[in-house]
Each structure stands twice: as C-alpha cells, then as structure tokens.
Structure 1
C-alpha cells in the first residue's frame, strides 16, 4: 500500500540528472499519484518545453506540469514565498499530501502546501551530482544524464562537402580519434550519410527494371529530398541519445538543401524548414582542391565540385553557421578538424546561471 495519496516533486531540472530521477522514482514508489512540477525562468538556456519532455520520457507514469517562475528565491522572505506559491499553486491546484525534496527549503515548502515533507538523499550521497555541476561541465557529468538529455546537450559536428572530397573518411577518422581518448569519449558515435543509402536504393530499383542502367540514368524528384533530410535527422537524433558529448555526422539537413539545388536547380522550402530545426553546432567543409575525383558508381559531378564548394561556403556564411574550411592532406585536414572540435568543447555549453537564490530561515 502506498504511503501517500498525492505527492509533489518540484524543481528546475536544469537539466535533469540522476539525482532528480532518484528523487522522482522514490516519490513514485510511495505515492498513489505523483506530480512533477518543472519551473523555469526566462534567463535560463534550456527551454521549459524541453525539460518537461525529458522528464515525461524518463517518467512516463508520472504527471509532469510546467510553470514559468521568474522570481528570485529568498527563503527568509515571506512575501517572496507567497509569490512563488502563487506560481506553484497555479500549476498544481490540487491537494498535496507529501512534498519530496532534496533541498534545505523542503520543510517550508511542504508547510505551505499543508503537506508532509519527505527528504530524499539531501546530502547527495546516492548520486553525487547537481544541476550546477552539470551546467558547469556537462561532459564530466555525462554518465548521470539520461538519453533524451544527452541528445539535447551533445555537441553535433557535421562534415560536409562536394562529391569525392573525403567527407566520409574524415567523419570516421574524427570519430575514431575521440573514441581513442577513452572514458566518456569512448562512446563517440558516427552518423553515416543517409542520402547515399537512398541513392543506392534508387539505382537498385532502376536496375530491377533495367538491369543495364547506371547512375547517369537515375533521376531525383523534389519530394525525394525531404525524405533524405528527415532520414538523416532521425539517425542523428537516435545516435545523439547514446553517444559521448560529441557526435560526428556525415552531412545533415542543411547540406541536403544544397544537394537539392545541385540536382534540381532550386531551393526546397520543405528541406530548408527541416534544416532550420537542426541542433548542430559546427560544420567542417572539405575542400575539393587537392583531392582526386573517384567515381564509385554513384558520382558524376567532378566538374561541379568547385561550384558546390563555393555554394556550401556561401550558404554557411550567409546563415551565420560556424564552420571551418578543411584543406591540404588528410592529416592536415584531420588536425584542423580536431583543433576546431576541441575549441568547441573547450568553449563549453555556456548554459546561463539560474536566478539567484538566498537561503535563510523563514521569518514568518
């Protein structure tokens, strides 16, 4: 039999980590019904919608609600408490029987809800992690993060370029370079180019009808490219959930906008919309100069490589997407790429601090 009827867990979950999930699971085991209230402030870098979605995925049997709370905390000020409680009660108007927290203000929070306070691991001994630690250095806390949170925080690096400029070779080499660093980096993932598999299938379908057909006889339609972009994005998002703090992608939806232009001569608004929803952080553009063209049976654009390289550079610049041009030998390109990725990781995640909190004994 459950100890409490309606339980409440309240927090920023900025971002959610193993300590939060332990708190929620403990409360869920003891309550007939559990509500998790996610409170976010406008100054914070991670959206309320994302945090709610992450909590709902990890705890599908729990009711998750959200509220915007832009009031700094001062646990010794009753008027500040009143303002916070108006936000909390607006999101959770039902009777609350127990409040589960790991915070020092748990007693006062429970009192104001007219509920019992149940402290859970207040010294953080079960999971030695905090939201502050995760925000400061997500890579150091990676093992405390669930798959949807990892997908939301992973640094996504895209390798793109014209035909036969070594994008696949470089993306794989980067993946292996970071895996060899060990620790959390051993989980580094690589996302292959979905467009190539799509192209192979188009050629196979044509040869099923015309066995002597070759790549020059394959035709593309506008509606093919959103499928390619969506397939690429789905694979990227799946890999982001299970890898290290960095993910290497052989092309992306943004690159697909240029491949549509290359094959059909114009822009696809549908593909552009998919590209706009991407969460990539760095693009590595492989130069065609110094790389011989190899026809692998799915290529026919040697003469278009200078134009493609130029278009990638123009569109990356126009859209304000951070990128590095990779030229020279494979070793030189790899060294330049690693330096750019390391700089990205060193720069960090730049997650804004939450609103300040002042902790004092309540005065009334």
Structure 2
C-alpha cells in the first residue's frame, strides 16, 4: 500500500496542478493533497480546499497553516519542523512526494519519501500560478471552471425599464465572445403575471444569483448580467416602498455596473410598469442611489443605442476589465 502527497498553495488552482494531481493519483494507492495557507493569503485557504474537494472528491484534502513548500529553508531545523507537522496530518509513512518544482526535494528527504519531479519546465501545461495572478484573462484556458468565479469580470447592466439593457447586454456578450445572464424577472413575469409580491421579488433575486453562479463557470473571461439583485431591490422600493432583508444580505456585486440613462423613449411591451416622466425619473434616481449606497464602481451610459454600445466598451476598458 503506497501513500503519496502533493503540496502547494494552489493560489490559484490551474491546469498544471490538475495534471500533477491526476498523474500522482495513478502512481500510488492513496494520495493526499496538502493545501498550505497563511492568514494573509489573497485567496483564503478554505476556498482553495473547496476547489480541491470539488475537483478531486475521492482524494484526501487537508489544509495546514504552513509556509509555501517552496519557501521552507533546507536547514535541519526547518525540515525537522516540517516533518513533525506532516506527522500530525499524515501519520502514515509517505512513500512518494510529487511536485513540479525541484525545490521540494528536501521535503521528500525529510519525510523519507521518494521525490517524483513532473514537468518541471511546465512544458505540458504552460502556465504557473504567478501567471494567473498577474493576468488571469491571458491564462483563462488553464483556469478550471470551479476557480473562474474568483477571476471572471462580472459586468452588470443596471437601470430602469425600457432603457435598452437587454439589447445592450446581448450585444456586449456577442462582442466579447462570451455569455450573459438573461433578466430572470422578465421570464418570471411572463410566466406568472405582473401581480408581484415581495416573495416574488426575493425569488427573482435568488434565482438570478443561482444563474450567475452557474454561468460564471462557463463564461469566457467576462460575464454580462442583465440586471442583478441590486436592481430587484430598487423594484421593491418602487412597488412596495420597502424591501425584504434578503436584499441587504446580498453581497456578490459585479465588478462594474453600467447604469443606463432614461434618455430613450419608454415602450410598453406588456411587462413594464412606470412609463410617466416623474416615475421614470424616480426609478432612475433610486437606481443610481443604490449603486452609490453600495459603493460599487459604475458608469452612466447615455445616447442612442450605438452610442450606448461605444460608451459601454469605453467604460469596460477604463475599468480594466
């Protein structure tokens, strides 16, 4: 019965790590993945453990507060402390330590394990964690779906009805060759009617969140949102002059909001409510106030449809997304 270990920060997990783990798993009877974490890590250790558990549900995954394996000094004291820590989290003798970095060889020696070096030049999967952290978009093909939510750029179209959000969302997604989350509120109203309750609005918000979480794993670098729960909260204000506490707990806001102005004609398509000038202005002001209150990054988008598209592209570029 052979036992192997793979050490790393996996910050973030990428295709090279996945190839390493799968190769190691084929060469031993039992494999343990040790996720090294520190309190000030950019991505919490618990998040990285969840990545590993989802990618490798049949393997043992443990997190341990310890330095990166690359930074452990090859001195007797440091290696002795490392071996003692490993004894606590892996009581069984370690037969093989797998790595793509030769600097981990002293760790194998300290454990009395055979050191197995795999693809040290990253030729098989040409990516390193530092590459992903520096420019995640350039490394996108090597980021697994489970990790993409941490690095995808979410861009939300925000504002009152009949301002061109849906049309602009679709065009932006097509322009960038990616996906978009359609407005679930429209689907809900078409299915169940316009006699909405606060519970209906919460259902719309929760469903939109679930759709976003699903599609962010499939998008290509950017995910466009045709509104989100911040907009649904404003609908609650307009319809009921209050909102359910769920909307205050919503915290997965987009990286950029494009607030569409009301300088377009209001068109009644059968699912719209507030067409008169004063109510439309109130709706826009509340939409903007919600973004201000939340402290999110946003830009106001005005003009004809073509101008809206060009202004949206400029805002996305300006935001570095």
**Superposed pair shares fold, TM > 0.5:** yes
Superposition map of 1:169-208 within 5 A: 169-179=167-177, 188-203=178-193
TM-score, normalised by the number of residues in structure 2: 0.93
Structure 2 match to 1:65: 62
Count of matched residue positions in the alignment of Structure 1 and Structure 2? 318
TM-score, normalised by the number of residues in structure 1: 0.82
Give me the whole-angstrom Cα distance separating, in 1, the residues matched to 2:49 and 2:217: 17
Deviations 1:32-58 (CA, angstroms, capped at 9, x unpaired): 111111112233321212211111111
Superposition map of 1:70-219 within 5 A: 73-179=71-177, 188-203=178-193, 218-219=194-195
Give me the whole-angstrom Cα distance separating, in 2, the residues matched to 1:333 and 1:87: 58
1:241 match: secondary structure? coil
Match of 1:302 among 264, 275, 283: 275
Deviations 1:107-166 (CA, angstroms, capped at 9, x unpaired): 211111222211111221111110011111111111111111112210100001101111
Give me the whole-angstrom Cα distance separating, in 2, the residues matched to 1:84 and 1:266: 56
Structure 1 match to 2:260: 286
Deviations 1:284-303 (CA, angstroms, capped at 9, x unpaired): 11011x21000000112113
Deviation at 1:74, TM superposition (A): 4.6
- Given that 1:75 and 1:105 are in contact with CA atoms closer than 8 Å, whether structure 2 keeps it comes out as no
- In structure 1, list runs of 5 or more residues that go unmatched: 180-187, 204-217, 347-364
Deviation at 1:89, TM superposition (A): 4.3
Deviation at 1:85, TM superposition (A): 4.5
- Given that 1:193 and 1:251 are in contact with CA atoms closer than 8 Å, whether structure 2 keeps it comes out as yes
Q: Show structure 1 runs of 4+ deviating over 3 A.
A: 76-94
Q: Which protein has greater RCO, CA pairs closer than 8 Å, 6+ apart?
A: 1
1:313 aligns with 2:303: no
Give me the whole-angstrom Cα distance separating, in 1, the residues matched to 2:259 and 2:314: 14
CA pair 77-161 structure 1, distance change in 2 beyond 3 A: same
CA pair 193-95 structure 1, distance change in 2 beyond 3 A: same
Deviations 1:155-199 (CA, angstroms, capped at 9, x unpaired): 1000011011111111112112222xxxxxxxx111100111111
Give me the whole-angstrom Cα distance separating, in 1, the residues matched to 2:291 and 2:88: 44
Give me the whole-angstrom Cα distance separating, in 2, the residues matched to 1:236 and 1:87: 40
Give me the whole-angstrom Cα distance separating, in 2, the residues matched to 1:113 and 1:34: 15
Structure 2 match to 1:259: 235
Q: Tell me the C-alpha RMSD between the 2 structures.
A: 1.9
Give me the whole-angstrom Cα distance separating, in 2, the residues matched to 1:198 and 1:251: 14
1:25 match: secondary structure? helix
Give me the whole-angstrom Cα distance separating, in 2, the residues matched to 1:343 and 1:70: 37
CA pair 311-83 structure 1, distance change in 2 beyond 3 A: farther
- Given that 1:48 and 1:66 are in contact with CA atoms closer than 8 Å, whether structure 2 keeps it comes out as yes
1:283 match: secondary structure? strand
Deviations 1:225-245 (CA, angstroms, capped at 9, x unpaired): 221111111111111111111
Deviation at 1:260, TM superposition (A): 1.7
1:152 match: secondary structure? coil
1:246 aligns with 2:217: no
- Given that 1:164 and 1:292 are in contact with CA atoms closer than 8 Å, whether structure 2 keeps it comes out as yes
Give me the whole-angstrom Cα distance separating, in 2, the residues matched to 1:279 and 1:94: 45
Give me the whole-angstrom Cα distance separating, in 2, the residues matched to 1:69 and 1:305: 56
Deviation at 1:264, TM superposition (A): 1.8
Give me the whole-angstrom Cα distance separating, in 2, the residues matched to 1:249 and 1:129: 29
1:139 match: secondary structure? coil
2:223 match: secondary structure? strand
- In structure 2, list runs of 5 or more residues that go unmatched: none
1:199 match: secondary structure? helix
- Given that 1:225 and 1:271 are in contact with CA atoms closer than 8 Å, whether structure 2 keeps it comes out as no
Structure 1 match to 2:304: 329
